[in-house]
Structure 1
Amino acid sequence: MQQPVLVIGAGQAGLAAGFYLRKAGASFVIVDAGRRIGDSWRARYDSLTLFTPRQFSTLPGLEFIGNRELYPDRDEFAEYLETYAARFSLPVRLGHLVARLVQLDDGAFEATFQNGETIKADDVIVATGGFQVPIIPELVRRFGGEVLQLTTATYRNPHHLPDGPVLIIGDGASGRDIAIECRKLQSVILAAGGPRKLFPERLLGKSIWWWLNLAGVLRAPADSWIGRRLKSADAFPDRGNGNTSLAKRGVRLASRLVDASGDEARFADGSSANVRTVIWAVGYRDDSSWLQVPGGTDQNGTFLHREGVSPVKGLYFVGRPWQRNRASALIMGAGPDAEQIVAQLLGRRQEAAAR
């Protein structure tokens, strides 16, 4: 008798996988560490809005209520996820943090949760997302104790910061958004790693995402010419946070941070600045320490897969950045990627049952 599919993570990727498993009539359970569905979004900084407008921020089978052209905030999307799970009666077990996943001698998997419970499964879909542990470079040790240091995971809003200059390291979408809101109360320096490419938010009256989706750019395979160009550029929409806009708002744009001492930050162009707060916004890394399955990760702890299929039989992924294409890291890509993975998983089960 086959055991239920175990889906780890009840974010957009895990719920999308649940939708297709439910649609196929498969037995499954979704586990999540949070107390509520959507807590991973509620834990982000207060002013966070999604990368894409509502029309491109939906999961299969349920529209996002509201203006299709505007960007939902973190709480709206968290509520959408809760509504989604309830609408399709998805079996989610909250408060279940996976501490360890191993593969047994018979090929099945056993997950041990932080509360000591265990569950066995013949197939596992890892849907833990690509934003797990903030990257904190070694330079963090160079600043003195008088400097408050935060990450995009621990920063909430500018009202919680002490008086004094704020240095934000990393000029991605989050770094730029945080720089703009902090500038309302403090002087702000934004340190970039190199030239940043932004594309227009709208073109001929329509969202740039509409055009990219229409042209098929977002569905281009990761190893295609277009995919490689997109990955290299790592561009995102200019929503009023381009370099010119930042400068007009009084944000000082600095070159790459190369050293620090006490409260002094030193940059690649030879300039320096004294700061009171540092916010690290240089990206995230995976926490794969719980995945104790040989062949599931490489020697650096990176999840191993090809388009979401692990070399380990019965192990799958959904929601990995560039899992299949640029859309894979966006809400709009969760559904298509989940549909493909669930089809492969169930297809393999049917083949095994027919033997």
Structure 2
Amino acid sequence: MTDQVDPVIIIGAGQSGLAAARAALDTGFRPVVLHAGAGPVGSWPDYYDSLTLFSPARYSALPGMPFDGDPDRYPRRDEVTAYLRRYAQTVDVDIRTRTRVTTVHPRRDGGYLVHTDTGDEIAAAGVVAASGSFGNPYLPTLPGQDDYAGDLRHVAHYRRPQVYAGKRVIVVGAGNSAVQVAYEVAVHARVTLATREPVRFLPQRLGGRDLHYWLRVTGADCLPRRVLTRLVRHVAVLDTGVYRDALACGLLSRRDMFTAFTPEGVIWADGTPESVDAVIFATGYRPDLAYLKPLGVLDQGVPRQVGGISTTHPGLVYLGLEFQRSFASNTLRGVGRDATHVMTALAAHLSGRPRQDRQRRDAASRTGHGDRR
């Protein structure tokens, strides 16, 4: 059990923040969780309506609470939202919703000051940045983009396919979300996937079992990034065969990425112009960590860290970064392992802090230079 006076602040109450809260309790902390949204469910309510997990329920739970129902089903967005809401009720910590962290500043005693949009200034012994990436979608900029008069959006702002009925649509991207969205929009519209390379598929089931069974039993789900990048060279889409068939039969088409926009549409790589009603970029996300800028910990928006432990600021850790420690780091099934790792490291750092802080305050009082934070 730690005896720090100031709390550990966890920023974010999605899957990463809730996993961090549980791991914090296991480590002996009583953390305070600050979340910008209305409920402790992360960004899940804001994803598109049909979003479905790519891993079965039995492999998709946070530590200590399995999904209800058929363990072999693939939970949908609303199921995950409900699951996280129930999970938050099992974690006995102070969760403050509708409280957005605006900045984090260092304190002279080695802790942090966390500022929120509600006007609070909270002294923190340590900070867990678990705010994910949904709030920071990556949207490439192409020539002519500002002049395009059609509907241009990131998949973060896509909800349902019916609004594209009868239209000409391009979906940019070769990952799971891009293909899933393109497939469902193609039922209502004429759709092309724009990618830099051919779409690669990975079977959802091997030997009669879901791929995630094999990832679990072989330990591949826990392989570090340096190993994975040698084994996996390209992005692959998990597929039962339906997406591959959609491309083969012409329900979906694919073309090399276009090079520019025109006011009416795009110019393809071969120089051909085409009128297009809408373009959806499924081009991923970047860490949503702007509140850490005062600390100087970001390198072009990416935190300087190893395995979720800051390499610049003791007492600062991260959760939910892509490939933070493994292939599964930013997923429901993998974030719990990372949470235990970073909270153990944070506890080790803070174990000597109360005694050290008292020594600093005593020395300051003797010299008349107390901390005026």
Q: Kindly tell me: are residues 272 and 238 of structure 1, through their superposed partners in 2, closer, same or farther at Cα, counting changes over 3 Å?
A: farther
Partner of 1:142: 145
The reply to whether residue 93 of structure 1 matches residue 99 of structure 2 is: no
Match of 2:306? Answer: 306
The letter of the residue matching 1:254 is R
Distance 1:246 1:18, change over 3 A: same
Q: After superposition, where does 1:127-166 map in structure 2 within 5 Å? A: 127-139=130-142, 141-142=144-145, 144-161=147-164, 163-166=166-169
Residue number among 181, 184, 190 corresponding to 2:193 in the alignment:
190
State which of 202, 205, 213 in structure 2 corresponds to 1:202.
205
State TM-score, norm by structure 2: 0.89
How far apart are 1:97 and its partner, in Å?
Answer: 0.6
CA distance in 1, matches of 2:226, 2:88: 34
Given that residues 15 and 90 in structure 1 are in contact (C-alpha distance below 8 angstroms), is that contact kept between their aligned partners in structure 2? no
- Give 2:326's aligned amino acid: N
Give the CA deviation at 1:49: 1.0
Is residue 2:123 matched to residue 1:120? yes
Q: TM-score, normalised by structure 1?
A: 0.93
- How far residue 348 of structure 1 moved from its aligned partner, in angstroms, is 1.9
Tell me the residue number matched to 1:246.
247
Count of paired positions: 352
1-side partners of 2:172 and 2:289: how far apart?
Answer: 25
* Residue identity opposite 2:330 in structure 1: A
Q: CA RMSD in A?
A: 2.0
The whole-number CA distance in structure 1 between the counterparts of 2:178 and 2:216 is 26
In structure 2, the residue matched to 1:30 is 33
Aligned to 2:259: 258
Alpha-carbon offset, residue 163 of structure 1: 4.0
CA contact (8 A) 1:180 1:246 kept: no
Secondary structure of 2:334's aligned partner: helix
How many Å separate the matches in 2 of 1:147 and 1:230? 40
CA separation in 2, counterparts of 1:95 and 1:143?
Answer: 33
Q: Point out where structure 2 has 5 or more consecutive residues left out of the alignment.
A: 357-373
How far apart are the structure 2 equivalents of 1:22 and 1:59? 15
Matched, 1:349 2:368: no
Check if 1:339 corresponds to 2:340.
yes
Inter-partner Cα distance in structure 2 for 1:179 and 1:64: 29
SS of 1:337's partner is helix
Identity of aligned residues (%): 32
In 2, the alpha carbon distance for the partners of 1:354 and 1:117 equals: 27
In the TM superposition, residue 325 of structure 1 has moved relative to its aligned partner by: 1.1
Instruction: Report the alpha carbon displacement of residue 30 of structure 1 after superposing the two structures with TM.
Output: 0.8
Q: Of the two, which has the highest radius of gyration?
A: 2
CA–CA separation in structure 2 for the residues paired with 1:183 and 1:121? 50
Q: Which residue of 2 aligns with 1:322?
A: 323
Letter in 1 for 2:277: R
1:66 to 56, 64, 69: 69
1:49 aligns with 2:52: yes
Taking the aligned partners of 2:266 and 2:146, their CA distance within structure 1 comes to 8
* One-letter code aligned to 1:74: R
Instruction: Provide the secondary structure at the position in 1 that maps to 2:157.
Output: coil
How far, CA to CA, are the matches of 1:140 and 1:242 in structure 2? 31
More displaced 10-residue stretch of structure 1: 188-197 or 8-17:
188-197
Does structure 1 retain, via aligned residues, the 8 Å contact 2:165–2:188?
no
Structure 1 residues 162 and 203, CA gap change in structure 2 (3 angstroms)? closer
